[in-house]
Amino acid sequence: LAKPWIERCSSYFGVAVSPTGNDASTECSFEEELRCSEQWMYVPLTNTPEESKKATMMFLFDIRSTSQLGAGLSILQTIFICFAVGIGAMSFSHDVNTLLLNPIERMISKMEAIKDNPLYAMKLGDIEYRREEIETARRKEELARMSRCWKLFYMGYNMKKVKEPMETAILEKTIIKLGGLLALGFGEAGAEIIGQNMRGGTAGVNAMVPGQKVDAIIGFCNIRNFGDATEVLK
């Protein structure tokens, strides 16, 4: 080498082979400028004992570019993992809200409404029926406006979607039907008994709930020989 070996690194003397090296400096450029992870050391391993006693060569290489590339790739990997975990959490949260939490909240709200007014169950059944009819009509209109290819895709997607109803949807419709049957079976007079028993904190049923005075108009219609007429019509 043409440059003098004036740099002292621990017990070694050497020279920095770099275009930016300072020829007049005696400080160890590797210890001053590089971290341990940015150095790559090579030592000859085939020296004889006699050669090792005389002199030992050691080569240190600057691998800052490789370390910076590895650091950049690690940052990108971390960003990708955070992005993937965030997307997975959002997808999981959306599925949980759509398939579990929202149906349960709807069922709870309907149970609260039926508890406050048992006759409201019949109205809930009508609302649910109208909603299904509107949804069916909307699908038919969308299907009529689509081309043939989009019709096949849309029909296949909806067949997969409504192939098997969710248990939460079945339970929600069952609650509405049971409430409607209670309202039909007990009528308006028994609705107050049902409501007060449902609002109570016990599991028992108290049929002797204090009643309320109501004003009513009773109509009476007498059809002569009605029994004979029904026998003949049968």
- What's residue 230's pLDDT? 85
Tokens of 230: 């029904």
pLDDT at 159: 58
Tens of pLDDT, residues 14-71: 666 665 555 555 566 666 677 777 777 777 777 777 776 776 777 777 778 888 888 8
Whether the per-residue pLDDT at 98 is higher than 90: the answer is no
SS3 (DSSP) at 60: strand
- As a whole number, the mean pLDDT across the chain is 76
pLDDT in tens, 159-202: 555 545 677 778 888 888 887 787 777 777 677 777 777 766 66
Alpha-carbon gap, residue 131 to 173, rounded angstroms: 13
For residue 165, report the phi and psi dihedrals to the nearest 5 degrees.
-70, 150
Six-digit token string for 197: 């028993």
pTM, entire model: 0.47
